Amino acid sequence: MPVTKPQSLKQTTAFEENDVLASICRDSFFEFVCEFWEVIEDRPMAHNWHIPYICNELQIVAERVFLGLPKLYDLIINVPPGSTKTIICSIMFGAWIWTRKPSARIIAASHDNSAALKPARKSRTIIMSEKYMNTFPEIHIPYDSVAVGLFRNTLKGIRASIGSGGNITGDHSDFIVVDDLLNPKGARSEAEILEGNLYITETLWSRKTNKAVTPTIYIHQRLSENDTTGMLLKLSKDNPQYKIKHLCFPAMLSEGGRECVHPAECIKYYKDGKLDPVRLSDVVINEAKVQGEYVFKGQYMQNPIPPGGVMFHVERISIDIPPTKWKKKVRFWDKAGTKDGGAYTVGVLMGEDMKRQFWILDVIRGQWDSAQREQVIKQIAYLDGKGILIGIEQEPGSGGKESAENTVRNLAGFSVFVMRPTGDKAQRADPFGVQVNSGNVFLAKAEWNSIYIDELRTFSLLNSKYKDQVDASSGAFNKITGGGTLEIGVFKLYD
């Protein structure tokens, strides 16, 4: 009988270590995250209570799929930016699922293809790493199926990545993971919100292997009362048969954050009133506040400003006598095209004084037809003087471009700049709102003060009746401070 040479002690130990590691990681998603963190991250993992908590909740959902049991609920996770949500939910979770159910089919969705492919690439990196292959040798991605957007393993497991609105054909899923279906940095219009919500209910929900078993997991920051979280919570409230488990962890317990914590028992884990004193330090929180009320309340506090909510704290605006020296002055026009059509044409004259304080020096407001409007704009330009820079907002489309060009020609001899707005009205107003709420905005005493203040007081994203003075103020402020819009050009035509 031939004698077989025994494995070396080192080889035997290596095999045993891999078996032990595989057993630990299969049993605990959190341990898997800790163990494979180094595969995709150069920085050490900063531990905080919310990480094992979220990992445990994801594992509870997944265990029922592994057993083929009906889901108890879909899962919503609301956490601030920088809370490791994407690493846990969109990168690590799928790689771990395959260690327990190699044949699992996963759909991972985000607000666009680029956002969907980035975590897919890192998840694939983990699965194809030497450490993963040594620990879970049964999981193998063949070389003819390594595309980032759609890759498979040899045991029939699939991961498909898709941007919002993208077409999903053929495959159904055992897990659907939705990470930021609305772009937190993009426009927050009602049309975009509705489109994202319909994509979930009309497209993603139809791509389930078993509608009774396949869970959908949503991870994002709040952007609006009617965003994905708001829509799903309302759907669950109106339809008791549709169950949702809501994990909501605002950055802080103060400023209304305590009321947003779900489950409420998690309040006890907050340290010094913060979700994570390392990731969400005072420096990070203060920088978030500078970004504006909508960003901070929604993305960080998970408490988006509702329709009619307060964006401008007008009680912090002072009415005073303006100084005589200025760094800059700008007259910005927000034009309405129809006489008595509801919207107003508004021209706001704003100045920045030598102390970096911002003054609303004059507001012209009226409902005129296009000919009257152009006459008023030119008259006000002569009254302001040729030293004042004049801004015009260009509305989308060829009509908006033509209207802006007509105004530029009408103002021959004056310095005129044209801006095309980016983002929605509330987003553009946020930087100006920060200064108002910091007590750094002043009004020159005049008859228009009360109407101006009333519009700021009632301004909201959705249902303010008038927004024209806010739009004109935002345009002037963004020009003075150099941000917030796309400047098409500065013109000075001769008479």
Place of tokens 């401008």: 312
| pLDDT score of 311 more than 90 | no
| pLDDT score of 44 more than 90 | yes
Helix or strand (DSSP H, E) at 89? none
Specify the pLDDT at position 480: 93
| pLDDT score of 133 more than 70 | yes
| pLDDT score of 380 more than 80 | yes
In whole angstroms, give the CA distance from residue 31 to residue 15: 19
The per-residue pLDDT for range 229-280, each reduced to its tens digit, is: 999 999 999 999 999 999 999 999 987 789 899 999 999 999 999 999 999 9
SS3 content of the chain, % helix, strand, coil (to 5): 40, 20, 40
Specify the pLDDT at position 168: 72
In whole angstroms, give the CA distance from residue 265 to residue 41: 31
Confidence of residue 5 (pLDDT cuts 50, 70, 90): very low
Structural domains of the chain, ranges and CATH numbers in brackets: 9-248 (3.40.50.300), 314-492 (3.30.420.240)
Helix or strand (DSSP H, E) at 159? strand 158-163
Structure tokens at 456: 């700021």
- The region of weakest confidence among 65-79, 238-252, 297-311 is 297-311
In whole angstroms, give the CA distance from residue 472 to residue 393: 8
Specify the pLDDT at position 484: 52
Place of tokens 């007590």: 439
Cβ–Cβ under 8 Å, residues 368 and 381: no
In whole angstroms, give the CA distance from residue 81 to residue 219: 11
Q: How far is CA 152 from CA 32, 102, 113, 121, 160, in A?
A: 21, 10, 18, 13, 9
In whole angstroms, give the CA distance from residue 302 to residue 220: 10
| pLDDT score of 422 more than 60 | yes
Q: Give me the mean pLDDT over the 162-185 stretch.
A: 83
Specify the pLDDT at position 225: 78
| pLDDT score of 367 more than 70 | yes
Specify the pLDDT at position 211: 93
Specify the pLDDT at position 313: 86
Confidence of residue 337 (pLDDT cuts 50, 70, 90): low
The per-residue pLDDT for range 341-353, each reduced to its tens digit, is: 567 899 999 999 9
Percent of the chain with pLDDT over 70: 88
Structure tokens at 85: 């949500």
Nearest to 188 by CA among 430, 456, 427, 428: 427
In whole angstroms, give the CA distance from residue 329 to residue 201: 49
Confidence of residue 393 (pLDDT cuts 50, 70, 90): confident
